[in-house]
Amino acid sequence: MKVYILVISLLFLEISFAQEKPNEKVWSLQDCITYAIENNITVKEASLNTDIAEVDYSKTQSSRLPNLFGSAAQNFANGNSIDPITSNFVTDQIYSTNVGINSSMMLFQGNQINNRIKQSKLLFEQNVFLEEQAKNDIVISLLQTYLQTLYSKEGIAIAESNLASSENEVIRAKSRLDAGSIALNDYTEAQSQAATNKYNLITAKNTYQQYIITLKQLLELPPTENLEISDESNTLMQFEFDKTTIYNKALSFLPEISASNTNIAVNQKELDIAKGGYLPTIALAGSIGSGYTSITDSNFTDQLNLNFNQKIGLSLTVPIFNRNQTKAAVQTASINIEKAEIQKQTVVKEVYKKVETAYQNAISAQEQVVAATASKEAATQSYKLAQKKYELGALSTTDLVISQNTFTNAEQNFLQAKYLKILYYQLLQFYQGNDIKL
């Protein structure tokens, strides 16, 4: 009975543990993209820059408003002095109190306030575009790394298959050596090939883990987190794209182009702000206040009522000569506009280079897939025939090893062409504004 209860308890614990153990997540490319956009530190930093630009825009908008300050002061004077409240010259100890509220407002400043507000808005929009660019950069990096990881994962399967075949060939070679049908060097060559294939398997697994580490870093996953990717590696059908159409679409929506255009507008506003330095400024200022002095016999409350005062005034400042500071600012702003236009040309050239490279590589990869498929099929048949001949003793170990290496190279070439085709096809989709989907 005790044994029965113990068995039931163990089964219950096992079932409970199985229910509590979470299923390990398998990450698709879309899962990686969604997670990285929310958690990647580069994207987060770009988002924070956008937030700062938004705060600056709000602060600049508030520059139109008047300011308001309150003040209070308690003073003591001894000897010959001027009473700060009555302005009388006295020789005595004076205790005085001053309270007041001051405000000022810039009415006109060469239209600089309006231009600064417009410039701050443009800077905010530019940071929005830069944030989108950061997201796009992460998406492309994830696409490349994800496909490289899939490529290395399939490379492990090829290496395992080759190792299993070579180990079987070592067993056959040992039997034939014991039977006296092959020389010792044939047997040792089979052993050498098995050792080489084992080394290749270790290398393939290490390469796969290196790409997994890169993926984790892009996703900002901790080192202890297990990452398993899904097998999204279907070979694409034939495709045809018009290079000019892709390029024009890329120019119409890529955020780096919009950011470059906005950068030119920002510098144009800087020129307008600099030119405002030639114009006069008009400011409005006002204050109310009161005070108390110990020299007067009236009490504190009566003096505050008696000394209550209000002031308001307009001030005009006309720039006559400021040591060419405004002139230099205008010249600098004009130069920066030219620099911004050159920077845009550089960005446009870079976009063209990316589209042109992706297009040419896509065409090349498509042709490589066709050639690599035929080569793989021929190498597979040749290797199968070589194995049968080797089993019948009609082929030497050296020839079998050569056939296996040819077969392995054909498989690797096919994999490489396959994933390059997928990569550049997806890049061309991206440059047209389409979603990346495997």
The per-residue pLDDT string of the chain (438 residues; one tens digit each, 9 = 90 and over) reads 443 443 344 344 444 433 434 446 899 999 999 999 999 999 999 999 999 999 999 999 999 999 999 999 999 988 888 877 778 888 888 888 999 999 999 999 999 999 999 999 999 999 999 999 999 999 999 999 999 999 999 999 999 999 999 999 999 889 888 888 888 998 999 999 999 999 999 999 999 999 999 999 999 999 889 999 998 766 556 677 899 999 999 999 999 999 999 999 999 999 999 999 999 999 999 999 999 988 888 899 988 998 999 999 999 999 999 999 999 999 999 999 999 999 999 999 999 999 999 999 999 999 999 999 999 999 999 999 999 998 888 888 889 899 999 999 999 999 999 999 999 999 999 999 998 887
Type of residue numbered 360: Q
What pTM, to 2 d.p., does this model score? 0.87
Q: Is the residue at 3 inside a domain?
A: no
- Dist CA 351 CA 231 (whole Å): 31
DSSP 295-309: TSSS-HHHHHHHT-E
Co-location of 376 and 314 in the same domain: no
Q: Are 256 and 351 in contact (CB under 8 A)?
A: yes
3-state class of 84 per DSSP? coil
Which residue, of 270, 294, 318, is where some domain finishes? 318
In a domain, 208, yes or no: yes
Residues 366 and 329 both lie in one domain? yes
Please indicate, yes or no, if residue 154 is contained in any of the structural domains: yes
Q: Domain range spanning residue 163?
A: 25-64+110-279+323-431
Pairing mode of beta strands 80-82, 89-91: antiparallel
Query: For the chain, how many structural domains are there in total?
Result: 2
Residue 115 placed within a domain: yes
> Is there a single domain that holds both residue 89 and residue 124?
no
> What does the block give as tokens for 253?
């929506």
Contact indicator for 292, 300 with CB cutoff of 8 Å: yes
